[in-house]
Amino acid sequence: MKRKVFSIIAGVVAAVGILFWGVGYAYRSPERRMAWIAKRLDLNEQQTAKLQAVHEAMLQAREQFHKERAELFEEIATQIKSERLDEAKVLQLLERRHALMNQVAPQVVAKVAELHASLTPEQKTKAVEHLARFKKRMGRHHDHHSHH
């Protein structure tokens, strides 16, 4: 039983950590990051405008998550401090977060689909190469942190 409770707390902590990481990552100049993507994929003006729309949809989604994050954090802190973890309550918090994700994801995905439809096969190949490189870097980053 103890292990189950620990894994729930670990899951909650990981979820909150990912939220903070996601927001922290956003502060590295979005404009510079967009310019970098546009340059690497050799996007034309129309495609760059679609990229901008993806970025704006993601910002709106992040804004909605940001509002809820403080509230979620307080409730999780209360659960961690309590004598007994209310598993139903923790699962309810995670469900709420999941519902919000389901609510905002379609808007972002729709913008990504518009951008994707405008890319040439060469641009798609380049995008996959950059994603693979990013994944490798994040994997190394993750491995580095998981040994502590």
Percent helix, strand, coil in the chain, to 5, is 90, 0, 10
Distance between CA atoms of 30 and 54, rounded to whole angstroms? Answer: 12
DSSP state of 1: -
Nearest alpha-carbon partner for 62 in 18, 32, 4: 18
pLDDT in tens, 114-137: 988 998 999 888 888 877 777 777
- Site of tokens 């905002």: 104
Is the distance from CB of 31 to CB of 74 less than 8 angstroms? no
Cβ of 50: how many Cβ atoms within 10 Å?
A: 21
In tens digits, what is the pLDDT along the chain, a chain of 148 residues?
A: 566 666 665 555 555 444 444 444 544 676 777 787 788 889 999 999 998 898 888 888 888 878 778 788 888 888 888 899 888 988 888 888 888 888 888 888 888 889 889 989 998 888 888 777 777 776 765 555 555 4
Question: DSSP 3-state assignment of 119?
Answer: coil
Please count the helices (runs of H) and the strands (runs of E) in the chain.
5, 0
Distance between CA atoms of 25 and 130, rounded to whole angstroms? Answer: 17
